[in-house]
Chains A and B, each alone.
Chain A
Amino acid sequence: DVKVTQSSRYLVKRTGEKVFLECVQDMDHENMFWYRQDPGLGLRLIYFSYDVKMKEKGDIPEGYSVSREKKERFSLILESASTNQTSMYLCASSLVAGGNYNEQFFGPGTRLTVL
């Protein structure tokens, strides 16, 4: 079974703090993704990575950065946390498959609260 793990289930931080969210997958997937999930807005893509040290902006990258130094690990960084970054953060991974098939496997999520 594919396993995607995230470093924390719940996190509380203060405005202005630097926040690191870690994600690890164990199935040698090339692609990794960071989403945030908010009520009524669904999942929105923040960043994704298709290879080590490679990254692409998603739909809402402002205020975030990412790092992928190893294939199995993808980190999301909030340089200076703000209250509007309070959300559920979901990491996902996928294989490079043929055509546009894109099955993503998700971690359990990190619920981040910024006070």
Chain B
Amino acid sequence: QKEVEQDPGPLSVPEGAIVSLNCTYSNSAFQYFMWYRQYSRKGPELLMYTYSSGNKEDGRFTAQVDKSSKYISLFIRDSQPSDSATYLCAMSVSSYKLIFGSGTRLLVRP
């Protein structure tokens, strides 16, 4: 079993929809939970991070962590075609190592 599981998609939604992206994990030692966004033919860039449980909001994006269920989510409100990308969850086990999910490809249709 992988330490971090993420549905690869693709997830196709119409513009303006609310998008929910999710990851599950098995290691209860994870403390920092991150979402990276990767556009086609580019490297990943950090979108948001959350420490421990709870919610964090940044504009149209909300990151949610439920440590009791070992489940994290990224919600995108009022999705735009420019949000079309692959979204990778990542979890920090140390100051050196990140464990990545395999990524979910999102397509927002105009």
Question: Residues of A with Cβ closer than 8 Å to B?
Answer: 4, 9, 31, 40-43, 45, 48, 50, 56, 90, 92, 96-97, 99-109
How many chain B residues touch A (Cβ–Cβ < 8 Å)?
26
Residue of A nearest to B93 (CB): A100
A100 touches B43 (CB 8 A): no
Which of B53-61, B73-81, B98-106 is the interface stretch?
B98-106
Partner of A106, one of B8, B45, B92: B45
A42 touches B100 (CB 8 A): yes
B32: chain A residues at CB < 8 Å are 99-102
A100: chain B residues at CB < 8 Å are 31-32, 92-95
Partner of B43, one of A96, A101, A102, A109: A109
Partner of A42, one of B95, B96, B103: B103
